Amino acid sequence: MVRLELDQVVIRRMKEDDIETVKALIKEGGEGTENRLILHVLTRPLCLFILAIVSSVLRCLVHSFILALAIPVFLLIIFLKITMPRATGVLGTSRPYWDYVGSSFRGAQDDTLENPYARISGKTAAAKKRRVKPKTKEEASAPPEKIDPDREEAAGQVWLADCDGEIAGCACRESEKRPGIRRICRVVVGSWYRREGLGRLLVQSLERREREVGARRIYAHVPFPSKLGEAFFRKLGYQPLGERTREEDEEEDEEVKVETAERGFLGFPLTKVYYKDLVLLAQKKFMYNYKNMRWAKGRNQTYLCFVVKRRLGPDSLSFDFGHLHNRTGCHAELLFLSHLGALCPGLWGCGGDENRRLSYSVTWFCSWSPCANCAATLARFLRLTPNLRLRIFVARLYFCDVEDSPHREGLRNLRRAGVLVNVMSYKDYFYCWQTFVAHRLSRFKAWEGLHTNSVRLSRTLNRILQPCETEDLRDAFRLIGLLT
C-alpha cells in the first residue's frame, strides 16, 4: 500500500504516451470484475437449468459422468470469457473497445481537473507537476497526427490520476449521446493505491467539470455483482435507476427505457444503472415540496437543498451545492450525513495541514423540519465536528402542533448543539429558486399566502425555541457570575 498525498494528485487527460499504461490498468481492474460477472451469469437459475439439460444429453454420448458435467460448463466459461468483454464493455462501458487514440488528449496546454484537496493544503499541485517522460521512439519529436474532431468526440475522454508521474487511476467519460446526459465508466484505481479516496477524487472532479459544462445527469453502469462498485457510487450520492416511488415522476420511466442495463448471455442484465442528478431541481418539484401552506397534503417526502461552503482563510472560499430527498428508510438529513465525507474533504483532518484549520459552513433548506431522531443524531454528530457550522431553513414544521411533541424537543436539541434553525422566508425561497431550481430564467413566483404562512411558522418556531433562549441566557449569566 502506498500512502497517497491526495493534494499532490494531478487529474489530467490521457495522452498518447499513457495509452499502454492505462490499458494495463484497465485490464487489471477488469479481471476481477470479469470473473465475478461470469460467475454471476453461470449461477442464474435459467443458466443452471440449461447446463443441466446439456449435461444430461451429453451423458448419453459420453461415458464419464464427470466429463459430461464439466464439458458444458467449461465450454460456456470459455465462450463467456471470449464474448463478454466484447459484447458488454466491462467496467460499465457500452462500447466493446475504447478508442484510446481518439480519446487521448493532444492539446499543447495540459488539461487538468480541479483537485479540491490541493486547495485545502494550499500548495498548487500543478507546480510540482513532473514532466512527461520523453519518448524513446523518434516520433516523439514529430507533431501529433491530426485526428478528426468527430472521432475525438465519439471516443470520449479518459482522465488520469497522476501521482507524481505515476498513473494511479483512471475514469472515463463516454461521448455525449444525449444533451446534458453523461456516462462515467471504467473507473479503476491501481491495486497499490486503493482505499485512499482516489476513485472518489476522480469521479467527483469529473462531475464538477461536467456540471460546469452543462451536464445535468450522470450515469454509471456498475457491473452487476460488484458490491464494492455499488457501495462506491451510492456513497457519492448516486442512486439505482428505477428504485423510486411510483408518483415520483413520469420521466423516470422514460429514463429506464432509454438508459437500460447491458444485457449479455441469455439476456441477463450485466450491469446495474446508477445515476445522479447533478444540480437542478425541477420547477414543479420545488414548488410542490416547498410550499409552506398550512395543510401540505401528500408531501410524503422531504427535500433538502444544501450549500457547502469551504473556508480556508478570509480570502479563500469554495462552495458546492445540490439537493437530495429521503429514500425509503433513510431521512434526507441522515442521507446528507452519509455524503458529508465526500462533500467536505478534510473535515476530519485528512488531506489538510494541521496548522491550517479549514472550516465548513453548511446551509440546508428543508421542506420539513428535522424529526426528533435526526435532530439527535445531528446534534451528536456536530459535537464531534467543531469546524462544521450548520444553518437550517425549513419550509414547514414537522409534527410540531402539539405542545409535548418530541420533534419540538428535537428542534431545541439542535439549537443547543449550535444549529441555527429558521423558517424560510420569501428571500430564502427566492435564493433557492435561483440556486437549486432549473428556473430557465423565469423568476420565482410566490404563491398566495407565502409571506403570512412564513411569518406564522416563524412565530411558532420561536415559541418552540424560546426555552432554549432562556437557557442560553442562564448560561451566559452563569458565565459572568451573576447566577450560581
Partner DNA sequence: ATTTTCAAT
Q: Which residues bind DNA (CB under 7 A)?
A: 245-247, 294-302, 326, 328-329, 331-333, 366, 368-371, 374, 396-399, 401
CA dist 356 and 353 (Å) reads 5
Task: Report, in Å, the least distance between residue 249 CB and DNA.
Answer: 12
Q: How far is the CB of 422 from DNA (least distance, A)?
A: 15
Helix or strand or coil: residue 157? Answer: strand
Query: How many other CB atoms are found less than 10 A from the CB of residue 466?
Result: 11
Q: Which of 207, 210, 230, 333 is catalytic?
A: 333
Nearest to 276 by CA among 211, 201, 344: 211
In the complex, minimum distance from the CB of residue 299 to DNA, in angstroms, rounded to a whole number: 5
Report helix, strand or coil for 411. helix
CA torsion angle for 403, 404, 409, 415 (degrees, to 10)?
20
Separation of alpha carbons 305 and 367, rounded Å: 9
Minimum CB separation of residue 459 from DNA in Å reads 16
Pick the closer one to DNA by CB: 135 or 294. 294
Nearer to DNA, 45 or 298 (CB): 298
Nearer to DNA, 241 or 270 (CB): 241
Give exposure, 350-381, as e/b (b: 16+ Cβ within 10 Å): ebbeeeeebbbbbbbbbbbbbbbebbbbbbeb
Q: Which of 56, 9, 353, 58 is nearest to 204 (CA)?
A: 9
Instruction: Please identify, using beta-carbon distances, which residue of 232 and 364 lies nearer to DNA.
Output: 364
Give me 371's grid cell.
424529526
Least Å from the CB of residue 41 to DNA: 29
Beta pairing partners, 121: none
Return the number of other C-beta atoms located less than 10 Å from residue 435's C-beta.
Answer: 17
The residue (of 114 and 249) whose beta carbon lies closer to DNA is 249
**159, 174 Cβ separation under 8 angstroms:** no
- Is 153 tagged catalytic? no
Contact 388, 347 (CB under 8 A): yes
Can you tell me the distance from the alpha carbon of 203 to that of 4, in angstroms, rounded to the nearest whole number?
17
- Helix (DSSP H) and strand (DSSP E) numbers for the chain: 15, 13
Query: In the bound complex, what is the minimum distance in angstroms from residue 256's beta carbon to DNA?
Result: 16
Q: Return the closest-CA partner of residue 103 out of 24, 163, 22.
A: 22
> Which helix (H) or strand (E) is 303 found in, with range?
strand 303-313
Whether residue 18 contacts residue 207, with contact meaning beta carbons closer than 8 Å, is answered with no
Our CB check for DNA shows the closer of 222 and 394 to be 394
Between residues 299 and 456, which has the closer beta carbon with respect to DNA?
A: 299
Report, in Å, the least distance between residue 343 CB and DNA: 18
Task: Report, as residue numbers or ranges, the catalytic residues.
Answer: 333
